[in-house]
Structure 1
Amino acid sequence: MPKMKTKSGAAKRFKVRSSGSIKRSQAFKRHILTKKTTKSKRHLRGMTCVHASDEKSIRAMMPYA
Structure 2
Amino acid sequence: MPKMKSHSGAKKRFKLTGSGKLKHARAGKAHLNEHKPTRRTRRLSVDGVLEGADAKKMKKLVGSYKPKSQRG
Q: What TM-score does the superposition give when structure 2 sets the normalisation length?
A: 0.77
1:50 corresponds in structure 2 to 50
Consecutive unaligned residues in structure 2, runs of 5 or more: 66-72
**Larger RCO of the pair (alpha carbons < 8 Å, separation 6+):** 1
**RMSD between aligned residues:** 1.6
How many residues are aligned here?
65
- Which structure 2 residues correspond to residues 22-61 of structure 1 after superposition, within 5 A? 22-61=22-61
What's the secondary structure of 1:30's corresponding residue?
coil
What's the secondary structure of 1:5's corresponding residue?
coil
4+ runs deviating over 4 angstroms: none
1:29 alignment partner AA: K
Q: Considering only CA atoms, is the larger Rg found in Structure 1 or Structure 2?
A: 2
- Alpha-carbon deviations, 1:32-54, whole Å to 9, x = none? 11221111011111322113231
Q: What TM-score does the superposition give when structure 1 sets the normalisation length?
A: 0.84
Consecutive unaligned residues in structure 1, runs of 5 or more: none
